[in-house]
C-alpha cells in the first residue's frame, strides 16, 4: 500500500468513530503525513476527513484491501459479543507528493451487516 521507500517526516494519526442513526457504525484510523495536515487539510477541524477526500478530485484512491478479523480489544466497549469478527477495508489516498492511509472497521450496527449473520470465534 505505502511506498517501499522510507517515508521520513512526521505523521499524524487520526482516530474517529463515525455514527449513523445514533449508533456507532465505523471505527476509522488514518495515518496522515504532517505536511498534508499543515497544508491542504489545515482547515479540517472537526469535520469528517471523508468530506474532503471523497469530494476533491485532487485526491486519488488506491484499490481497497479487505479484512475479516476478530475485533481488536480497543473496540470492546462498542461490540457485543466481544468475540465477534468484523469486516474492514483500507486504502491509500494520494495528493500531489503526499500519501495518507485510511483504514475503516465496520462496527456491528453498520448498514453493511444488515441481513448478514456475524460469526463468533470458535473456541
Give tens-digit pLDDT for 41-67: 888 888 888 888 888 899 999 999 999
At residue 7, the pLDDT reads 52
Q: Which residue from 95, 102, 100, 98 is spatially nearest to 35, judged by alpha carbons?
A: 98
At residue 64, the pLDDT reads 94
Share of the chain above pLDDT 70, in %: 87
Domains with residue ranges and CATH for the chain? 11-113 (3.40.1410.10)
Per-residue pLDDT at 26 exceeds 90: yes
Q: Can the peptide bond before residue 93 be classed as cis, meaning omega within 30 degrees of 0?
A: no
At residue 121, the pLDDT reads 40
At residue 4, the pLDDT reads 41
Amino acid at each position: 500500500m505505502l511506498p517501499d521507500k522510507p517515508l521520513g517526516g512526521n505523521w499524524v494519526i487520526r482516530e474517529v468513530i463515525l455514527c449513523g442513526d445514533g449508533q456507532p457504525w465505523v471505527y476509522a484510523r488514518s495515518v496522515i503525513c504532517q505536511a498534508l495536515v499543515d497544508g491542504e487539510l489545515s482547515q479540517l477541524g472537526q469535520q469528517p476527513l471523508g468530506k474532503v477526500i471523497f469530494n476533491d478530485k485532487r485526491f486519488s484512491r488506491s484499490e481497497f484491501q479487505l479484512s475479516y478479523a476478530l475485533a481488536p480489544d480497543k473496540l470492546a466497549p462498542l461490540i457485543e459479543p466481544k468475540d465477534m469478527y468484523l469486516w474492514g477495508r483500507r486504502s491509500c489516498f494520494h495528493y500531489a507528493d503526499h500519501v495518507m492511509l485510511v483504514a475503516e472497521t465496520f462496527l456491528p450496527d453498520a448498514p453493511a451487516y444488515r441481513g448478514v449473520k456475524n460469526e463468533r470465534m470458535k473456541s
